[in-house]
Amino acid sequence: MRVVSMSEQSASIVWFDLVERLGEIERQRLIEAGLRPLPVRNITEAVTLAPSVDRVVVRPVDDTVVIAELRKRFAQLPRKPALIARIDRDRFELAVQAMRDGADNVIPADDFSTTTWRARPRAAVAAPSDSRSRRWRRRSARCRKPEP
C-alpha cells in the first residue's frame, strides 16, 4: 500500500457560485490543481465549512454584498480562510469593489488554469485600512525630526 504524502493530498475549497453550477470540466481542472471543490448553496453552508478549508471561492452576481457578509462572519472564526472572488473579465468595477469589501484575491471567472489555482492565497489578517494605518504611524514616527 502506497502512502500519500501531504503534498499529494488535495485541499478542500468551498465553492460558492451564485451565477452557475460548477461544470465537470472545471471541476476536473481544479482536481488537477490539487483542489477538491465543495459546492455550497448559501452563506450559512459556506460559513459552516469555512474553518475546515484554506479558501472560500465566491462568484457574486451584480454586487459584492455576499463578500462583505462572508468577511463579517469569518471575523468570528478562530481560523479564517482566504476569500477568493471570481469575477467576469468585463466587470472591473465589481472586482475593485470585491477587494474593498474584503476579498483577499480576485481572479477571472473563466480562469481554470492549474497555475492560478495552485497559488496559495493568504487570508487577510487585519482589515487593509488598519494595517496601512499602523504602517504609516510606524514610518512617520521614525521619520520625525528631533525637536530642538
Residues 14-31, mean pLDDT to the nearest whole number: 94
* pTM of the predicted protein model: 0.75
Distance CA 68, CA 100 (A): 9
Query: What sign for the dihedral angle of Cα 85, 52, 22, 65?
Result: negative
Residues 77-83, mean pLDDT to the nearest whole number: 92
Q: Band the pLDDT of 129: cuts 50, 70, 90.
A: very low
Q: What is the mean pLDDT of the chain?
A: 82
State residue 99's pLDDT score. Answer: 96
What is each CA distance from 71 to 23, 30, 59, 81, 103, in whole angstroms? 26, 24, 14, 10, 8
- In sequence order, the 6+-apart residues with CB closer than 8 A to the CB of 27 are 37
State residue 118's pLDDT score. Answer: 87
- CA 16 from chain centre, in angstroms, equals 11
State residue 4's pLDDT score. Answer: 36
State residue 10's pLDDT score. Answer: 61
In this predicted structure, the answer to whether residue 16 has a pLDDT above a threshold of 80 is: yes
